[in-house]
Structure 1
Amino acid sequence: MNIKSLCLVLAALVGGLWIAGCGSSNNRSDAAQDGVIVMQLDEEYELHEGDVLEPTDAETRIAVRHVFEDDRRYVTLLAGSATLVLGDEDDR
């Protein structure tokens, strides 16, 4: 394999990883559609004041993690489905 081919392969790999990384952003403004995030299984979301969790079926199970040092709360969808309705950012 010559140098030019190796560079092209490396560029394609780096580009693919960069594109894949762009889709996994947990930025609230990017993930929210009209202030509502459809939660994904096994993905952790940070809760802010005014946010509301809405389970969409009876099988929904959600884990809550509270970091007392920073007074932050995180939720993870374990089963079922749920949405996270974002509170007003002006209240923060």
Structure 2
Amino acid sequence: MASGRHGTLYIGVTSDLLGRVHQHRESLIKGFTSRYGVSRLVYYEGFDDMITAITREKQLKKWNRAWKIELVEARNPDWDDLAVTTFGFPPGP
């Protein structure tokens, strides 16, 4: 998730992507994402099991910012909010 193309990036893992996106967009959970306005889903990966997902999360968190940006832009060059364009959420603020 991101606050914008040049803003804060957030990497996390969840078993309920749509529920977690809703929590971030509505700032329902206080912490990093609400503090930095991270509410746009710009990239996601799906996994069959949580262990693999957590391993990938840890790998991505070690990457430098440029690598993360390349990863997002390879699939989402315009940094569209995938919660809106893919999952039908209403446009956010």
Shared topology, TM-score over 0.5?
A: no
Q: Which has the higher helix share?
A: 2
**What TM-score does the superposition give when structure 2 sets the normalisation length?**
0.21
**What TM-score does the superposition give when structure 1 sets the normalisation length?**
0.21
